[in-house]
Amino acid sequence: MKKFQEFNLGGVKLLSGKILKSAKLVYQTYGKLNKNCSNVIVLPTFYTGTHIRNEGFIGKNRALNPNKYFIISINMFGNGLSSSPSNTARLQHGSQFPEITLWDNIHCQHKLITEKLKIKKIALVTGWSMAGCQSYQWAAQYPNVVKAILPFCASSKTSIHNHVFLEGVKAALITDKNWKNGKYKKQPVAGLKAFGRVYAGWAFSQDFYREKLYKKIGYKNVKNLLDDWSNDHAKNWDANDLLCKLKTWQLNDISIGPIYKGNYIKALKSIKAKTIIMPCNQDLYFRTKDNEYEKKFIRRSSLRSIDSPYGHCAANPGNDKNFQNKLDRNIVELLT
């Protein structure tokens, strides 16, 4: 028995003008839809996440309670479950896979919600990192559908510095001699391991390492952490999938597309959803300053920044209890 559901979209015209052939979204639902369809929560996936990892945010004792809400966890294109370079047919396989934007992701998620699940309103879209970026995209792209959003450790537009950080981890991967411009027959393992090692320096804050907090999450020493991050990326990820999503991340900007045509301020002002933005002040690439700027233009918004030495990974379930508790309180506030 499959532990997920599939929605087949057929050919999808992308923002780039190209067609993603035989497109599919993989998703999973938790809880039941109530009679008036008012309990819908959309929880997209983050960069190296799937709906399974999203289950860490869901629970009977959590704000995202499946006994109360109908939670739809949707896998982003490029994550190896929904249409991705690694699982798409020959003509668009691997390096031939087309460029995907968050606009494309949300356009297709909207089809899933409205056409397959017959839902007209969403109570909340929330998520960590790239999932949070998708919550902004939902609110800007479909302002009359989404009632509330709670992006945490995310932004509505990828900053230049964030873009440069991503170029660094990308460079670590593609310098592997086995990369072969994405036309590899075997995974570029050395590149994937280098990708993981570089990323480990950005995922946590300087305080995390100074205070040796890696010992609190199961690592004996820094070498142990680096080896785990290296092996995890080499074992669990396809290189083209990682780079597909990385490009999507770099292209993140809620104003691209036919509605706002690059007018970022207009896009922010068009968000009708009640919004709580939740950055971590020690996040090294989704910076609080960027969220402060967004708040100026999102009408019904508040900024709830949090200090945590875990940096971007403060949001990872199990890392920082204080972050988790405040996240749940903010979710409850938006749903009340």
* Amino acid 3: pLDDT: 83
* Amino acid 140: pLDDT: 98
- Tell me which amino acid residue 268 is: L
Question: Would you state the structure tokens that stand for residue 127, as one six-digit string?
Answer: 């998520």
* Amino acid 312: pLDDT: 98
Which domains, and CATH codes, for the chain? Answer: 5-158+254-335 (3.40.50.1820), 162-246 (1.10.1740.110)
Average pLDDT for 118-144: 98
- Is residue 124 predicted with pLDDT exceeding 50? yes
Average pLDDT for 93-120: 98
Neighbours of 178 (CB within 10 A): 14
Q: What is the SS3 assignment for 150?
A: strand
pLDDT-derived band at 2, boundaries 50, 70, 90: low
* Amino acid 1: pLDDT: 39
Average pLDDT for 39-61: 98
H-run or E-run covering 148:
strand 148-152
Average pLDDT for 233-247: 97
- Is residue 52 predicted with pLDDT exceeding 70? yes
Question: Would you state the structure tokens that stand for residue 200, as one six-digit string?
Answer: 């480990």
pLDDT in tens, 278-328: 999 999 999 999 999 999 999 999 999 999 999 999 999 999 999 999 999
* Amino acid 90: pLDDT: 87
Q: Write out 87-104 in H/E/C secondary structure.
A: CCCHHHCHHHCCCCCHHH
pLDDT-derived band at 35, boundaries 50, 70, 90: very high
H-run or E-run covering 9:
strand 5-13
- Is residue 61 predicted with pLDDT exceeding 80? yes
- Is residue 74 predicted with pLDDT exceeding 60? yes
* Largest CA-CA distance found in the chain, in angstroms, rounded: 57
pTM for this predicted structure: 0.97
Residue 85 contacts residue 78 (beta carbons within 8 Å)? yes
Closest CA to 11 of 28, 24, 1, 30: 24
**In this prediction, what percent of the chain has a pLDDT beyond 90?**
99
Closest CA to 47 of 277, 318, 316, 326: 316
Query: Which residue has tokens 């896979």?
Result: 97
Which residues on adjacent β-strands are paired with residue 207? none
Average pLDDT for 74-91: 97
**In this prediction, what percent of the chain has a pLDDT beyond 70?**
99
pLDDT in tens, 110-119: 999 999 999 9
Residue 238 contacts residue 86 (beta carbons within 8 Å)? yes
Which residues on adjacent β-strands are paired with residue 20? 12
Neighbours of 75 (CB within 10 A): 27
Q: What is the mean pLDDT of the chain?
A: 97
* Amino acid 5: pLDDT: 97
Q: Write out 11-39 in H/E/C secondary structure.
A: EEECCCCCEEEEEEEEEEEECCCCCCCCC
